[in-house]
Amino acid sequence: MLTESEILRYSRHLLLEDVGEIGQQKLKNAKVLIIGMGGLGSPAAMYLAAAGVGTLVIADFDQLEVSNLQRQIGYQTADTGSDKVKLMKQRLNSINPEIIVRCINRKMDAEQLSLELMMVNLVLDCTDNMHSRHLINAACVQAKASLIVGAAMRFEGQLIFFDHNQSDAACYHCLFPKSEEQVLNCSNSGVIGPVVGTIGTMQALEAIKYILGLPSGIKNRLKLFDGKTLDWQTFTVTKDPNCSVCGQKK
């Protein structure tokens, strides 16, 4: 049952046939882990908090730097030097005091990650490096945790959903096999703020749809966003039976 203040707060959701009171209750019961509180994670977390996702677990071990503020619009200049997760928890609770926000303020290893995955319905990968992305992917495959991956750099974005609950789910390693090669990230290549914000916002949209039980347009489908033309390209990703992370031959 929603309280009177929740009915007022979520009135624009309650008007939607796809949400309604039942959907809002699903959002309230949901627990989402968001890893990375940068340009992807901060808008994703803010939208999910505003939408009434009942429990948000936010993970990051960085302190806010002035160079983050060009794109990470959830933060203030006066807060540089403070822990991002503490700042974001305050921000999320000021957006919506009706939800629970828990912080993880350290680098998680595979073991801690697998414990955290047991306590949530959904994971958003909003990290900024390949090592974390492969660690999160492997843990989600093992825990059969649903994973929405976003990434952005320069004027480009990438978005995909792996529903590891389902046996036909591909994984991040099927798409981009782990390698020691240097890949592109925001600190070595730069990024334009609204592109990373768009991808983080799409991760929040897909998270809400997943919680509501609506079909996803990005399940096993990689979306590439071009911030210059505003075109989206779609590619189907099939589970690789030879994948060393999710395949039969692992």
Partner 1 sequence: MNVIVNGNIFEIAPNSRIEGLLKSLDKPLNGSALAVNGEIISRTKWAEYRLCEGDNISLFQAIAGG
Residues within the interface to partner 1 (CB under 8 A) = 36, 38-41, 125-130, 133, 150-153, 156-158, 174-177, 179, 181-187, 189, 191, 196, 199-200, 222, 224, 233-238, 240, 242-243
Residue 98's region, left for phi above 0, alpha for psi from -120 to 50, else beta, is alpha
As measured in angstroms, the least distance from the Cβ of 96 to partner 1 is 23
As measured in angstroms, the least distance from the Cβ of 8 to partner 1 is 34
Q: Which is nearer to partner 1, 34 or 211 (CB)?
A: 34
Terminal alpha carbon distance of the chain: 45
Sign of CA dihedral 159, 217, 140, 245: negative
> Which residues does 30 contact at the CB level (< 8 Å), separation at least 6?
53, 54, 55, 121, 122, 211
As measured in angstroms, the least distance from the Cβ of 126 to partner 1 is 5
Catalytic residue numbers read 186
Return the closest-CA partner of residue 141 out of 108, 174, 109.
174
Q: Which is nearer to partner 1, 12 or 249 (CB)?
A: 249
Return the closest-CA partner of residue 60 out of 11, 126, 111.
126
As measured in angstroms, the least distance from the Cβ of 14 to partner 1 is 32
Q: Which is nearer to partner 1, 103 or 126 (CB)?
A: 126
Q: Which is nearer to partner 1, 18 or 232 (CB)?
A: 232
